[in-house]
Chains A and B, each alone.
Chain A
Amino acid sequence: MGKYTTVAIKVPDVNRSFTQGSYKYSDPAVAKGNKAVLDKIYAELGTFITKWGIEFEVDDSIIAGFIATESGGKNAPPNQYDATGLMQVTPNTVWEIIVKWQVMVNSPLSAKAISFFNKAIPSSKNFNANTVPSSAVKSEIRKALQNNPEFSIAIGTATLRWLLEAFKDGNVASINKVMVSYNAGYYSMRNKVKGVLTTQQLINNKSIPIESRGYLLKMLGVNGFLDLWFKK
């Protein structure tokens, strides 16, 4: 037994695949390309994925799938929402994860994680839940997300665990709600995804942004990244 809530995933969870125009995950050429992306991510970043996956009890398949969906393994500059790095985390999210970890996860961050975060963002020693991050702090976090792939993966994996604990139903955490919230934001989604909901119900829920519903298909659909991973 680990110290966190366990997750139970069905792969694929829905008999549907992601489609955007003529781009279809069910197309064998697209599936082959996506599989190559997953393999490249794991070959290049597998050490960090496994290290932080063990720390936060998240499987390598899930972390690699999120990296593939978020950035394709490319360290992209900040987008319009200020999300950046391999796992497209925003500076505000980094702040939230660190200052509200104990409240949300109900278990303290390990000394190993604190030490690593303090090294990557020296100002994180002074993060305070009662304030908001200054622009200088956001800039420091942004630089770490962009320039330090291990930090990007560590904080992205911590975010996944934070959300898994936020969306636990009894003794089991809901990965489908985590996917929607990782993409659309926890605070805008938490009231829309209350109760036990299937992935199909979330896909049909039009109050959830279409991009986030597409995210579910990219991860949990047929030929989604988790399907491709476990077909290995």
Chain B
Amino acid sequence: MTKAQKILLVVGILGVAFGGFVLTKYLTRNVRKIRGGTVTLQTFDTPPNEEPLDE
């Protein structure tokens, strides 16, 4: 393996690692750690249903 190939390999590995980190951060952007677990914060596009519950 030439020196240039070694550099490319290292750059590639670092790129994949960084990309994975960024993707994980993006996918878990609404997830927060709380004591004893996690909470995922959600939003809805429509107003909430305000109907009273049925007996």
Contact = CB atoms under 8 A, between A and B. Distances in A.
A57 B52 contact: no
Main secondary structure of the interface of A (DSSP, over half): mixed
Nearest to B51: A19
- Interface residues of B toward A: which range? 20 to 34
Interface in A9-42: 9-13, 15-17, 19-21, 24, 26
A4 B36 CA distance: 8
Max count, chain A CB within 10 A of own CB: residue among B40, B42, B54: B42
A187 interface: no
A202 to B, nearest CB: 11
A7 interface: yes
Interface stretch (A86-94, A107-115, A189-197, A210-218): A210-218
A57 B36 contact: yes
B34 to A, nearest CB: 4
Interface residues of A, number: 40
Interface in A133-159: none
A232 B45 CA distance: 20
A61 interface: yes
A218 to B, nearest CB: 11
A11 B41 CA distance: 5
Interface of B: 32, 34-42, 44, 46-55
Given A20-B52, A59-B36, 10 more contacts: A4-B36, A6-B37, A11-B40, A15-B49, A16-B49, A17-B48, A21-B52, A60-B35, A206-B54, A213-B53
